Amino acid sequence: MSFADLGLSDKVLQSVTAAGYSQPTPIQAQAIPHVLARRDVLGIAQTGTGKTAAFVLPMLTLLESGRARARMPRTLILEPTRELAAQVVENFDRYGANHNLSVALIIGGVSFADQDAKLTRGVDVLIATPGRLLDHFERGKLLLTGVELLVIDEADRMLDMGFIPDIERIVKLVPFTRQTLFFSATMPPEITRLADTFLHNPVRAEVAKAASTAATITQRLVATGADPADKRERLRELIRTTPDFKNAIIFCNRKRDVAVLHRSLLRHGFSVAALHGDMDQRARMAALESFRNGSVSLLVASDVAARGLDIPAVSHVFNYDVPHHAEDYVHRIGRTGRAGRLGHSYTLVGPGDEKSLAAIESLTAQSVTWEGPTLAELGSDGARPRRESSARRGGQRSASSRHDERDPSQREPRPARESRSARESRSPRESRPARESRPPRESRPARDRGQEVRGRDPRHSAHSSADEPRVIGLGDHVPAFLARPVLKKSDT
């Protein structure tokens, strides 16, 4: 089957041919005819199988007739992340070269004024993240009553990121007669329930088992210790020794770990960039572009880069952390082995990751092979031999702690602790050690700043001379209120 058999317009076919494609992928072959027939479509396919083109190509054909009105987009595409939204814009630029369509990208981190100007002129295609879209709507700069086609891409990622309430609100704002398309690599039960609510008599286009991984990806597990330094060292060994290495995306669960690992790899001489959600939009796009064009060979990223990013020539994926959600594993390793290419994925497994690993193997219905010793063979705590640097760090302990590690027979016996009765039987002067090194008070000069030698008040001179007795309490001076007789009740 060719693209000409799917019912696409001549302009779209010319763009597809110019892009170098001749045959559609299975998801494109199933979905495009139903989209052109104005049917609701629920598309499920592995990541990297061309789901974006499965709705971009028929949308270009449908939009050849009609025109946009101010602040009323004709079609709306919702994406969970800014990078995915920008990638869809690139698809429209590539395949819509022969069309005179206006496309607007509405995402966070960009000036409101520029986006308002595009919306005011009118757009045929509006590509947006849910939060920024609702911001424009609440400011009165956008109307959704003219939307003819609604696309919800990566619906399960919308669920993970907490966008479902926003999606439900947006769906209520668009016309009931719209055409709705759902596309995702996984379909958990919650998304299935929402699809039943949003879609009307949909066509299910499923070319692979949900949450399955591509057969072109070689998957391996690598056991590591609990020490983060040991884990980073093991990752560096894999990068240096793994065969057929060209470039790689390294996934971490937390943004903080992305920053730490990025600095560590830079210190060890690797060409690396970082990508996570706390970066501003310009820095995120610059990091992604530097990895795409080969300026850097490593990209350390959070799950913001796990969904739908189309970088065809990624040779390896390293899961520095085992993902908390099993579905994320499918999306992460889907960044390699795309479009029929061979790919490799390595997942670093440490103590405490057993439950997450079991969930991944249960979801994908396959057991992943270990590279080297398993976690059980490595040890109950996952400990690896300590490095020389760790030994040097351990050598900074105090002398007393090193003394305690000697043979007990060589230790000097500690003096027996004096009993309480013996301490109380000593005189007050014997209980305090003599200060022999301190010169007599008379030989010390008076301090500056007006601090003169104190007078002969017993409370001040108790320690000034050895001939005078030690004064306890108030000494000879008794306040008058303490000398008053105590009156009993019977005396009053």
Q: Which fold has domain 217-384?
A: Rossmann fold (3.40.50)
Structure tokens at 220: 């391996």
For the stretch 93-120, pLDDT in tens is: 999 988 989 999 999 888 899 999 999 9
Structure tokens at 219: 């998957």
Closest Cα partner for 210 from 155, 130, 164, 252? 155
Q: Which residues pair with 182 in a beta bridge?
A: 42, 152
DSSP 443: G
Q: At 255, phi and psi to the nearest 5?
A: -65, -35
| Residue 75 near residue 66 (C-beta atoms within 8 A) | no
> How far is the C-alpha of 328 from the C-alpha of 363, rounded, in Å?
11
Q: What is the largest CA-CA distance in the chain?
A: 121
> How far is the C-alpha of 194 from the C-alpha of 190, rounded, in Å?
6
**Helix axis angle, 281-292 to 82-95, nearest 10°:** 60
Which H or E run includes 230?
A: helix 228-241
Distances (CA, A) of 259 to 26, 53, 82, 90, 489: 39, 34, 20, 28, 78
**Helix axis angle, 189-198 to 164-173, nearest 10°:** 10
Structure tokens at 429: 């002067």
Q: Which residues contact 284 (CB under 8 A, 6 or more apart)?
A: 82, 83, 109, 275, 304
Tell me the pLDDT of the chain (492 aa) as tens digits: 789 899 999 999 999 999 888 889 889 999 999 999 999 999 887 666 788 899 999 999 999 988 888 999 999 999 988 888 988 999 999 999 889 899 999 998 888 999 999 999 999 999 999 999 999 999 999 999 999 999 999 887 787 778 889 999 999 999 999 999 998 777 778 888 888 889 999 999 987 666 677 788 999 999 998 899 999 999 999 999 998 899 999 999 999 999 999 999 999 999 999 998 788 878 888 898 899 899 999 999 988 766 656 677 899 999 999 998 888 898 888 888 876 788 999 999 999 999 999 999 998 888 999 998 988 888 644 444 444 444 344 444 434 334 444 444 444 455 555 555 555 555 444 444 444 445 444 444 444 444 444 444 444 444 444 555 666 666 667 777 777 777 777 655
Q: DSSP for 37-100, please give it.
A: TT--EEEE--TTS-HHHHHHHHHHHHTTSS--BTTB-SEEEE-SSHHHHHHHHHHHHHHTTTS-
Q: Do domains 3-206 and 217-384 have the same CATH topology?
A: yes
Burial tier of 135 (Cβ tally within 10 Å: 0-12, 13-18, 19+): middle
> Which superfamily does CATH assign the domain made up of 3-206 to?
P-loop containing nucleotide triphosphate hydrolases (3.40.50.300)
For the chain, give every domain's residue range: 3-206, 217-384
- DSSP strand pairing (369-370 vs 217-223): parallel
> How far is the C-alpha of 307 from the C-alpha of 304, rounded, in Å?
7
pTM of the model: 0.62
Q: Residue 195: helix, strand or coil by DSSP?
A: helix
